[in-house]
Amino acid sequence: MYAAHTNDHGHDEHSHKPSGIMRWVQSTNHKDIGTMYLWFSFAMFLVGGAMAMIIRAELFQPGLQIVKPEFFNSMTTYHGLIMVFGAIMPAFVGFANWLIPMQIGAPDMAFPRMNNLSFWLLPPAALLLIAAQFAPGGGAGVGWTLYAPLSTQAGPAMDLTIFAIHILGMSSIMGSINIITTILNMRAPGMTLMKMPLFCWTWLITAYLLVAVMPVLAGAVTMTLTDRHFGTHFFNAAGGGDPVLYQHIFWFFGHPEVYVIAIPAFGVVSQVIPAFSRKPLFGYASMVYATASIAILSFMVWAHHMYTAGMPVEAQLYFMYATVLIAVPTGVKVFNWVATMWKGSLTFETPMLFALGFLFLFTLGGFTGLVLSIVPVDIQLHDTYYVVAHFHYVMVAGALFSAFAGIYFWLPKWTGRMYNETLGKWHFWLSLVFFNVTFFVQHFLGLAGMPRRIPDYSLQFAEFNMISSIGAFGFGLSQLLFLYIVIKTITSGEKAADRQWEGADSLEWTHLPSPAPWHSFETPPVVK
């Protein structure tokens, strides 16, 4: 199917590109689709971010000032859903589309048309989530975890949300099938699995996780749907069902899902840190095994989200020990990143800064995770702001910072132009400071007992909440700087070199010009 393109890669990339909007609507090109994923994800990042600003504005002071409690609940719900399914996950799928074919020396993804479909399912799903706000009774204020029995009793917005999740799930599953097939079947000759850049490895593992758990989530929300409309009683105690069952099914998906978010982030950081240390990644094989064991273990710890839901003490102990065990492979990874930098010739361009920010803050989030995995501690801290602080350290300072690192790192390759280093550093430092202002104090709020998902709070929490809100506004504004930097790079950045970072050694840097041509590796490169 690639035989029609006889041009050798790189020199006349304009000749086959359809023009206008149809180029994007009908695109089967992995780079175009990757670009669309990334822009979509940024748009969702702004929508979800706006919701976060509403949440923090309401929490700026105690009392109810700005929004009604129902609307506040809807904001926490859709902020979570949109950030997880609309912003972070599509961002990393965008990276996968752009990078995997180039890094393994393949001409494109295995199923280009399915790739197009996976992307174009996303906008309707996003529209459903936004439309849910205008359903009778407003958005469903059930939390992003959609717990029964609240979800079986919520208004029509819940149905829109369930459909959105079905569509997002289908998109993820198709995207994952594409990624697995591409990596397993389409590597250039000589590119053995253990020679692949770690980013490809992390995505291979993530894609397997997604194919395994997205259908389980789809099943859970389908049960919610039939409980709502078709008289089943999966979660309805009055009919012999059990709401706690929902929690088990959800977290069977939910804990692996947090690693779906984290593992590609590990992959990006594992490309960036060696490049700016000018050393190969320390312990490549142990990185692969650690990632795989994290993925496998992630299926065995789900009930650490449910210590307070009612569980025999033996089960609590098992889930506690299993959860603590995950810290071991995670520790291996952190050790390897640090060891990669050891005696390297380090430089601190923006991608490296974000990668280091990731390294410090993700590790901190891992520590608070360990604290939460201890049953007696968690019984105290469950559903407080301590949990909110924990997962924002791993998801914002973890996954999001890693995505920023990746974007600054590959932008020269994608656009052929360099971003403005000074502005990039500003973006990093503003994000770092405001992130910590926002979320560090939330640890204290949680320890003092402030519950999450409540629009009002008692007076002793006022100072820390005000600090947190100020940090959040600052963080939100800093991201507009990021948008400006990216647009400025695309329109008028300086010309980038083919191998912009001399420490980067994967195929897209060593074998392809900048910007990467529309078609690449139609004849596979030879990998020694």
The residues that touch Cu ion, with contacts defined as CB under 5 A, are 255
Backbone φ and ψ of 417, nearest 5°: -130, 150
Give me the residues paired with residue 384 across strands.
451
Backbone φ and ψ of 43, nearest 5°: -60, -45
**Residue from 255, 413, 443, 519 carrying the catalytic annotation:** 255
Our finding on whether 200 is near other proteins (CB under 8 A) is: no
- Residues 210-269 contacting other proteins, CB under 8 A: 211-220, 223, 234, 242, 244-245, 248-249, 252
Annotated active-site residue 255? The verdict is yes
Kindly report the number of other CB atoms within 10 A of residue 12's CB atom.
12
Full DSSP string of 252-264: HHHHHHHHHHHHH
Annotated active-site residue 23? The verdict is no
Stretch that binds ligand HEM, among 15-23, 266-274, 388-396, 484-492 (CB under 6 A): 388-396
**Closest distance to other proteins from the beta carbon of 490 (Å):** 33
Residue 312, binding choice from other proteins, Cu ion, ligand HEM, none, Cβ under 5 to 8 Å by partner class: other proteins
Annotated active-site residue 5? The verdict is no
Stretch that binds ligand HEM, among 322-330, 400-408, 480-488, 494-502 (CB under 6 A): 322-330
Encode burial over 307-346: b for 16+ CB neighbours within 10 A, e otherwise: beeebeeeebeebbebbeebbebbebbbebbeebbeebee
Annotated active-site residue 408? The verdict is no
161 membership: H or E segment, kind and range: helix 157-185
Tell me the C-alpha distance between 462 and 159, whole Å: 36
Tell me the C-alpha distance between 242 and 225, whole Å: 15
Residue 123, binding choice from other proteins, Cu ion, ligand HEM, none, Cβ under 5 to 8 Å by partner class: none
What's the residue count for the chain? 528
**Residue from 144, 201, 337, 414 carrying the catalytic annotation:** 144
**Residue from 76, 151, 172, 182 carrying the catalytic annotation:** 172
Tell me the C-alpha distance between 265 and 59, whole Å: 30
Our finding on whether 77 is near ligand HEM (CB under 6 A) is: no
Stretch that binds other proteins, among 193-201, 308-316, 372-380, 409-417 (CB under 8 A): 308-316
**Residue from 31, 166, 304, 499 carrying the catalytic annotation:** 304
Our finding on whether 186 is near other proteins (CB under 8 A) is: yes
At 359, the amino acid letter reads: L
Residue 212, binding choice from other proteins, Cu ion, ligand HEM, none, Cβ under 5 to 8 Å by partner class: other proteins
Residue 223, binding choice from ligand HEM, Cu ion, other proteins, none, Cβ under 5 to 8 Å by partner class: other proteins
Q: Which long-range contacts (CB under 8 A, 24 or more apart) does 513-517 make?
A: 513/10, 513/416, 514/412, 514/413, 514/416, 515/413, 515/414, 515/415, 515/416, 515/417, 516/31, 516/102, 516/413, 516/414, 517/9, 517/10, 517/11, 517/13
**Residue from 270, 363, 431, 506 carrying the catalytic annotation:** 270
Residues in binding contact with other proteins, number by CB under 8 A:
33
Choose among 418, 330, 425, 318: nearest CA to 368. Answer: 330
E strands, 297-418, in order: 417-418
Tell me the C-alpha distance between 317 and 351, whole Å: 41
**Closest distance to ligand HEM from the beta carbon of 396 (Å):** 9
Annotated active-site residue 144? The verdict is yes
Structure tokens at 196: 């692949």
Our finding on whether 330 is near ligand HEM (CB under 6 A) is: yes
Annotated active-site residue 171? The verdict is yes
Cβ neighbors of 352 (< 8 A, separation 6 or more) are 272, 273, 275, 276, 346, 405
Residue 186, binding choice from other proteins, ligand HEM, Cu ion, none, Cβ under 5 to 8 Å by partner class: other proteins
User: In the Cβ-directed half-sphere of 287, how many Cα atoms lie within 13 Å?
Assistant: 29
Q: Is the dihedral of CA 300, 301, 306, 312 positive or negative?
A: positive
Radius of gyration of the chain (CA): 23
The residue from 30, 228, 305, 519 that contacts ligand HEM (CB under 6 A) is 305
The residue from 32, 108, 159, 378 that contacts ligand HEM (CB under 6 A) is 378
**Closest distance to Cu ion from the beta carbon of 384 (Å):** 16
Stretch that binds ligand HEM, among 226-234, 324-332, 333-341, 458-466 (CB under 6 A): 324-332
Annotated active-site residue 259? The verdict is yes
DSSP 3-state of 384: strand
Our finding on whether 296 is near other proteins (CB under 8 A) is: no
Residue carrying the six token digits 């990339």: 13
Our finding on whether 111 is near other proteins (CB under 8 A) is: yes
- In the bound state with other proteins, the residue whose beta carbon lies nearer, of 110 and 352, is 110
- In the bound state with other proteins, the residue whose beta carbon lies nearer, of 122 and 217, is 217
- In the bound state with ligand HEM, the residue whose beta carbon lies nearer, of 135 and 327, is 327
**Residue from 31, 228, 333, 519 carrying the catalytic annotation:** 333
Residue carrying the six token digits 């529309």: 518
Cβ neighbors of 15 (< 8 A, separation 6 or more) are 7
By annotation, the residues acting in catalysis are 79, 108, 144, 171-172, 255, 257, 259, 270, 304-305, 330, 333, 452
Q: Which residues bind ligand HEM (CB under 6 A)?
A: 145, 258, 261-262, 304-305, 323, 326-327, 330, 366, 369-370, 372-373, 378, 381-382, 387, 390-391, 394-395, 398-399
Which residues here bind other proteins, judged by CB under 8 A?
1, 110-111, 173, 176-177, 180-181, 184-186, 211-220, 223, 234, 242, 244-245, 248-249, 252, 310-312, 315
